[in-house]
Chains A and B, each alone.
Chain A
Amino acid sequence: MKKVLPWLLTLVLLAGAWVQNAVALPDGSSEASFLTPATVGHAATARNLTLTVTDVRAARSITDPTGRTLESTWVVVDVDAEAIDSQYGATLGFAELTVGERTFRATERVQSFFRQRLVPGVPRSGAVAFELPADALKGTGTLRLGIPSDARYDGLVELTIDLSDIPVEDAITLPTTHWTHT
C-alpha cells in the first residue's frame, strides 16, 4: 500500500488539475460586466439604470435632428431610459453591438441618445445608431447598453437581435432625445 500511495496521489492531483483547467473561466472574468437580459418592449434593470428597447431597425441612411444625413449601413435602436439612484455621472455611455467576431460602438458622427444624461425616476427617449459594414446585416447580434464607458465590474442590459430579420428602410430620421412622458 505504501508503494502505491504516491502513484495514487499523483493520479488524484493530475485529475484535479485537469478538472480545474476544464472549469476555469477565461482571463478577465473577474472583471466581467453583470448582464441583465432584455427583450424588445420590456424594461430591464441594471445598476442605476432602467432601460427599454422599443424598436430595432436598419437603414441605408440616417438623418439626425440637426439635419446631418449620412449614408452607410445603419442599425438604429430606439430606447427609453432612466437612472435609478443617482444622476451623478449617469449618461447612456455604453452602447455596443457585437456581430460575430466584430464589435461596433454607437456612432458619435450624428447627434443621438448616446452619452446623453439620464435622470433618476424620469425617463428619456431617443435612439442610438451603429454603423456597420455593408455586408454585416446577417446573423445574430448582441446589443449591450449601459451607463459607464468602461463597463468592467458594472451592469449592462443585453439584448439579442436577429439582424437578418429587422426591416431595412431607405432612410431613418433620428428623434431628438426627449422626455418619454411629455
Chain B
Amino acid sequence: MTIPTPLVADTPESQTPAPKQPGWWRTNRLALVALLVLVPAIGIGVGWNEWYSYYGYGFRKVTVVEVPDKGTVKVAGAEWGPVRSGEITDTSTLDMPKGTRLLAAIVPVKPDGKAVSCEAPMLVQQSTGREWTPMRSEVGLAYSFDENETCVSDLADEKDPESAQPFSLTVGFVVPDDVTGPFWLDVDPRGDGRFVRFSIDP
C-alpha cells in the first residue's frame, strides 16, 4: 500500500495567505460620504421650508427695524414715527381696574403713496417679553374717528390709490402696576417680515 498522492498539488501559491479583505470603512466609503452630505442637506432643506412657510409671507414679525430715539424709519412704503408715549394719570372718567396703569402711545404714519395696512401695535415689556394689545371699550373709552388702532386707508382722492394721507395710531394699554418699563412698541405693517420697533418708557 503506497501513501496516496495528495489530490491537490502542494504549490507555493496555495501556501500564501488569502488576500486581505478591504475594511468596513473602505467598502462603505461612498455611502458614508453620501450620508455626511445628505443628512445636513435634508435637515437644512426641510427646516428652511418649514420656516419659510410659517414666517416667509410677511404676515408675521420676523426682522426688527429699530427706530432711533425720537426718530423715524421707513418700512413697507410708509414713514413711521416719531412716537410719543406717556401714562394717562387722570382715569376718573374711565373704567380702570385697581392696581393698573393706562399707558398711551401715538405713532404718526406717513404712507408713501399707496395705503399701508397693519395690525394694532403691541406693547412688549423688554425684560420679560410679556405683551399687551390696545384696549378701548373695556375701559370705557368711546370710539373716536381720529383715534385709530390699526392702519387706515384714507385716500385724498378716492379714485387715486396713490394718494394715501398721513394718520396717527393712537393706542392705550392696561398694564398691571408691577410691570415696569422699558417697553417696546411694535408695529407690524403687512408686506414683508420686517416690523417697526419703538423703545418707550412711559
Contact = CB atoms under 8 A, between A and B. Distances in A.
Contact of B132 (A87, A124, A182): A87
B95 interface: yes
B49 interface: no
A18 interface: no
A123 B97 CA distance: 9
Contacts of B132: 87, 119-120
B178 to A, nearest CB: 8
B97 A179 contact: yes
Contacts of A8: none
A166 B72 CA distance: 60
Interface residues of B, number: 20
B98 interface: yes
A162 to B, nearest CB: 33
A105 interface: no
A122 B100 contact: yes
Nearest to B138: A117
Nearest to A180: B97
A86 interface: yes
Nearest to A181: B98
Interface in B89-133: 95-100, 122, 128-133
B78 interface: no
B179 A119 contact: no
B32 interface: no
Question: Which residue among A117, A120, A124 has the maximum number of chain B CB atoms within 10 Å of its CB?
Answer: A120
Given A181-B97, A182-B97, A85 B135 contact: no
A116 to B, nearest CB: 8
Contacts of B98: 179, 181-182
Contact of B131 (A88, A123, A124, A182): A88
A139 interface: no
A87 B131 CA distance: 6
B146 to A, nearest CB: 23
Contacts of B179: 121
Contacts of B131: 85-88, 120
Contacts of B133: 87-88, 117
Contacts of B174: 119, 122
Contacts of B176: 120-122
Interface in A113-130: 117, 119-124
Given A119-B135, A122-B174, A85 B129 contact: yes
B33 to A, nearest CB: 36
Contacts of B99: 122, 181
Contact of A86 (B95, B100, B130, B178): B130
A181 to B, nearest CB: 4
B175 interface: yes
Interface string B170-198: 00001110110000000000000000000
Interface string A88-104: 10000000000000000
A5 to B, nearest CB: 29
10 contacts: A84-B130, A85-B130, A85-B131, A87-B131, A120-B130, A121-B179, A179-B95, A179-B98, A181-B99, A182-B98
Given A84-B130, A120-B131, A182-B97, 4 more contacts: A87-B122, A119-B174, A121-B176, A179-B98
Interface of A: 84-88, 117, 119-124, 178-182
Q: Which 6 A-B pairs have the closest CB atoms?
A: A179-B97, A121-B176, A181-B98, A87-B133, A87-B132, A86-B131
